[in-house]
Amino acid sequence: MEGPVCQVAWGCYVLLAISIGAHCAMSSDNLACPSTSDLRTQPVAALDKEGIGPAMTSIPMIACSTSLSEHHSGGSGTNKNKQMVEQLQRYGVISSKKVVEVMETIDRALFVPDGTPAYVDSPMAIGYNATISAPHMHATCLQLLEENLQPGMHALDVGSGTGYLTACFATMVGPQGRAIGVEHIPELVAASIKNIEKSAAASLLKGGSLSVHAGDGREGWPEHAPYDAIHVGAAAPEIPQPLIDQLKPGGRMVIPVGKIFQDLQVVDKNLDGSVSIRSETAVRYVPLTSRDAQLKGY
Ligand code: SAH
């Protein structure tokens, strides 16, 4: 290409590059925007800039899309939520139809604090030194647990925070199943119940198959054990024994384990009661700790 056509094309390219760069810098918590080849890798979560939660480093599909500028303004975000899910599919984070369905059903915007960008692929502060996890981490955990979230099954969400994943679990296990959230900050429990009441999982909360409780999640929630699925939304220095005990034979737990360096571990309880553990990916979550330590900033 030569002359004006070339100049126009080059100008567009530069503008596009600046625009993509700005989007990535704004939304990826000071982490580099990856190359296209990285987009198909497993998510690698890393400390966000406040050092309090999981943040994406490798899948900026929302950050680099038109959703970046999206701020929840209280209106219906259904289409934008759908676009976010489509992006997660496009970049290979979600391959399961059921995970697509549930993430389309439960609108993420209802779970983030007012004024927070709802559909950016990044964790967001929710107060009390806690965060709502990034969409790609929610998607990854839902996908890892999918087989153990069949209708009628029991699921436990430890460190349920905003209640987003508890609502997803409840939707997947349905009214005959049971989804329990356990969160140790009572204010977050109250806020999560309000979030769920606005969501498509409201009837499950009302019907009693979904409940959220204030408590130390390291003890699990024995009342409705054993569980087919356990999700832990905060990083444990080691896997708490009560959670292993409350896992059903055939059940699966997904839990971030470690302090500075953390792995998302997949714990399968075999039918003979033995346990197999594998690491899925490197992550960085807030710690699974005491309420006091968390409120003091760890
Ligand atoms: N998965 C949730 C929240 C993730 S942040 C979401 O995406 O909304 C981790 C949560 O774990 C925080 O809300 C924090 O308060 C909670 N937490 C940390 N230690 C805990 C413990 N010992 N018992 C219960 N909740 C705990």
pLDDT of residue 78: 79
Q: Is residue 142 part of a domain?
A: yes
188 lines ligand 1 (CB under 6 A): yes
Q: Is residue 33 part of a domain?
A: no
Q: Is residue 53 part of a domain?
A: no
CATH number for the domain that contains residue 283:
3.40.50.150
- Considering 58, 133, 160, 199, which one is annotated as catalytic? 133
* From 238, 294, 295, 296, mutation site for ligand 1 pocket: most ligand atoms within 8 A of C-beta: 294
pLDDT of residue 67: 37
Going from the Cα of 148 to the center of ligand 1, the distance in angstroms, rounded, reads 21
110 lines ligand 1 (CB under 6 A): no
Going from the Cα of 235 to the center of ligand 1, the distance in angstroms, rounded, reads 9
| Residue 15 main-chain phi, psi, to 5 deg | -60, -40
Q: What interhelical angle do 135-145 and 78-90 show, nearest 10?
A: 70
Q: Is residue 25 part of a domain?
A: no
What distance separates the 2 farthest-apart alpha carbons in the chain? 74
Domain that holds residue 176: 80-296
**Atom 1 of ligand 1 has which residue's CA nearest to it?**
233
Reading the chain (298 residues) residue by residue, the pLDDT tens digits are: 434 433 434 433 333 333 332 222 222 222 222 222 222 223 333 333 223 334 333 344 443 333 333 434 344 577 999 999 999 999 999 999 999 999 999 999 999 999 999 999 999 999 999 999 999 999 999 999 999 999 999 999 999 999 999 999 999 999 999 999 999 999 999 999 999 999 999 999 999 999 999 999 999 999 999 999 999 999 999 999 999 999 999 999 999 999 999 999 999 999 999 999 999 999 999 999 999 999 999 7
**Atom 7 of ligand 1 has which residue's CA nearest to it?**
132
Q: Distance between CA 183 and CA 241 in Å, rounded?
A: 18
Q: Give the SS3 label for residue 102.
A: helix
CA dihedral (147, 150, 155, 160) positive or negative: positive
Q: Say if CB 88 and CB 103 are below 8 A apart.
A: yes
103 lines ligand 1 (CB under 6 A): no
pLDDT of residue 209: 98
Q: Is residue 119 part of a domain?
A: yes
Q: Is residue 2 part of a domain?
A: no
218 lines ligand 1 (CB under 6 A): yes
Q: Is residue 48 part of a domain?
A: no
Q: For residue 73, give every residue at least 6 positions away whose Cβ sits within 8 Å of its Cβ, in sequence order, or none.
A: none
Q: What interhelical angle do 135-145 and 164-173 show, nearest 10?
A: 30
pLDDT of residue 76: 52
Residue 291: which H helix or E strand, with range?
helix 291-295
Task: Give the chain's domain count.
Answer: 1
In this structure, what DSSP letter does residue 113 have?
P
Q: Is residue 60 part of a domain?
A: no
Q: Distance between CA 115 and CA 245 in Å, rounded?
A: 40
Sheet holding 227-232, edge to edge: 210-214, 178-183, 154-158, 227-232, 247-258, 262-269, 275-283
Q: Is 95 a catalytic residue?
A: no
